[in-house]
Amino acid sequence: MSFLSKSFSSGSGKSASTSSESTSEPVAMSFHAGAKDRKIPIISGDNIALHDIASSEKFDSDKPITCGFYRVDKGAPFTYTYTYHEMKIVVEGEFDISDETGQKVHAVAGDVFYFPKGSKITFTSETYGLAFFTGQRFEGQL
**CATH number, position 96:** 2.60.120.10
Question: What is the span of the domain harbouring residue 54?
Answer: 40-135
Q: What is the model's pLDDT at position 121?
A: 98
pLDDT average, residue stretch 74-96: 97
Kindly state whether residue 95 falls inside one of the protein's structural domains.
yes
Kindly state whether residue 113 falls inside one of the protein's structural domains.
yes
Instruction: List residues bridging with 92 in a β-sheet.
Output: 130
Q: What is the model's pLDDT at position 140?
A: 84
Q: How confident is residue 21, by pLDDT bands cut at 50, 70 and 90?
A: low
pLDDT of 11 higher than 80: no
Kindly state whether residue 16 falls inside one of the protein's structural domains.
no
Instruction: List residues bridging with 96 in a β-sheet.
Output: 106, 124
pLDDT average, residue stretch 32-36: 86
pLDDT of 76 higher than 50: yes
Alpha helices in 24-79 (DSSP H): none
The number of folded domains in the chain is 1
Kindly state whether residue 47 falls inside one of the protein's structural domains.
yes
